Structure 1
Amino acid sequence: MPQFDLYQVDAFTSAPFGGNPAAVVPLDAWLPDETLQRIAEENNLSETAYFVRKQDGYELRWFTPAVEVDLCGHATLASAYVLFEVLGAQDDVLRFSTRSGELRVSRADGLLAMDFPAKQPVAEEIAPALLQALGLPGAQALYRTDDYLVVIEDEALIDGLTPDFAALAAFDVRGVAVTAPSAKFDFVSRWFGPRVGVNEDPVTGSAHTSLAPYWAQRLGKRVLTAQQGGARKGQLRCEVPDNGRVVISGQAALYLRGSIYL
């Protein structure tokens, strides 16, 4: 009976039960796509990551319970944590070949730092139906990348959001981030992705490839602190250098290790 290691890692937190959980499955060779999807469905986490060693780096893929996705930050962080802290990788920089190009993860100042391509949000007219689906009385602005970014000014509204997920799924975007300035952090957010099978993702690293450039420009800062989540929250450090990239950093904690039997 084929057997595969599985690790569950809480990303963007220093201790279990915070941040965003991801499953990580190291492989010697790729399994059929249907099997990868079925494992992700069985894990029933927002993301399951798989990686295969290739020459001087790794091929990395991410699956929600419903679909394979182009980019996932927290599962990349979780994969790097497993390689560095569990499997003893000696690389100074981990290089991942993905559907979003090469992603790099390094260790810096007690954090895992992920180097991702930046996405510059483009302003759009605010859609009343979107605000209605989110249960928001209004918004300052709406932007779009592969997500919608809904900007509000009152961070107190963030925790109380109770979206209509069926209505949100009708919008032709990967997900919807609602974000606001914060007294404790530079900005806070929540992210909803019913269209890709994830009603709410507690901490979405990939969303910060759009959120960080927006807030860096608005606040005139290249290094920002952020928190994402509702009942469950995680913390991120974002750096926006002038090179079309975003460096997203955070901690991670191992929660579970086990075996998959197929």
Structure 2
Amino acid sequence: MQAIDFYMVDAFSQKTFGGNAAAVCPLVEWLPDATLLAMAKQHNQSETAFFVRTDSGFELRWFTTQYEINLCGHATLAAAHVIFEHLDYPHTDIRFSTRFVGELRVTRNGDWLTLDFPAWETKPVDAPPLLLESLGINGCEEVRLGRDYLVVLKDEMQVRNLRPDIHAMLPLEKMVCVTAPGEQYDFVSRFFCPGEAVAEDPVTGSAHSMLIPYWGDKLGKTTMLAKQVSARGGELRCQWNGDRVLIGGQAATYLIGKVMLR
């Protein structure tokens, strides 16, 4: 039997039951991919972060209940929180090596952790009719496409009031991010995940890799404050540095335990 430390962390929140929950498992060495996926399925969170310590930092991977993904912001924040808070890590800077997006850095300043992520470009596209139909809207300001669909609405209340048919989005074969200018924030967003265990992601760090460059260009700003207006919600401090973005947030530990593999 093998015992593995297990943490559940509410990322992008300073208190429990806010932000976005992620499972985090520190490993001594990598387990088979099939075991990592089975663990993520058992945890039944939107993502589980696994990491292994190396001589130069940490190797980091993220699994949904379906497959390994190329980038996850809130689970990276959660993993960094575990390292800083529970593993007696003495530094204020963590370097994660990843398989798909190279090196990621997380820095700590008081209670705030800042992710250093790649900036993702989006390009304008014609809106697929199914996209607007599944969102329950007749039109929008703009539709763009990067890793995910980016749908721009007129104002915050439109984003808050959406009641989408997320299952109907499955044929799009993309996640869907909806955004608008904020009332008290520079911009707000929601993020929909058809086919995943969590249909609406509460706070999506990776989506801000495309939101920050978009709104930075639109607003003529490099420093912004963002809010993901899901039911749980989360606040993000954002900075646009050319081909990189800085995404700041807080985190709170909800659960500490052991995974027993037999």
Segments of 4+ moved more than 3 angstroms:
195-198
Q: Secondary structure at the match of 1:213?
A: helix
Which string of whole-angstrom CA distances, capped at 9 and with x for unpartnered residues, describes residues 174-206 of structure 1? x11000111111111000121455411100000
Map 1:1-262 to 2 at 5 A: 1-98=1-98, 99-108=100-109, 110-173=111-174, 175-242=175-242, 244-262=243-261
Contact 1:201 1:229 in 2 (8 A): no
Instruction: Tell me the TM-score normalised to structure 1 length.
Output: 0.96
Task: Check whether the contact 2:44–2:197 (CA below 8 A) recurs between aligned residues.
Answer: no
Q: What is the CA distance between 1:91 and its match in structure 2? A: 2.5
> Aligned AA for 2:233?
K
Contact 1:176 1:193 in 2 (8 A): yes
**SS of residue matched to 1:227:** strand
Instruction: Output the CA distance in 1 between the equivalents of 2:250 and 2:163.
Output: 28
Number of positions where the alignment pairs a residue of Structure 1 with one of Structure 2: 260
Distance 1:26 1:109 in 2: 23
1:87-125 Cα offsets, whole Å, 9 max, x none, are: 121133111011211100001353101100100211111
CA gap 1:65/1:229 in 2 versus in 1, 3 angstroms = farther
Structure 1 gaps of 5+ residues are none
Q: Assess if the C-alpha contact under 8 Å between 1:67 and 1:197 holds in 2.
A: no
**Superposition deviation, residue 160 in structure 1:** 2.3
Q: Structure 2: where are the runs of 5+ without partners?
A: none
Offset at residue 58 of structure 1 (A): 0.6
8 Å CA contact 1:159–1:231 kept in 2: the answer is no
Superposition deviation, residue 126 in structure 1 = 2.0
Check whether the contact 1:191–1:229 (CA below 8 A) recurs between aligned residues.
Answer: no
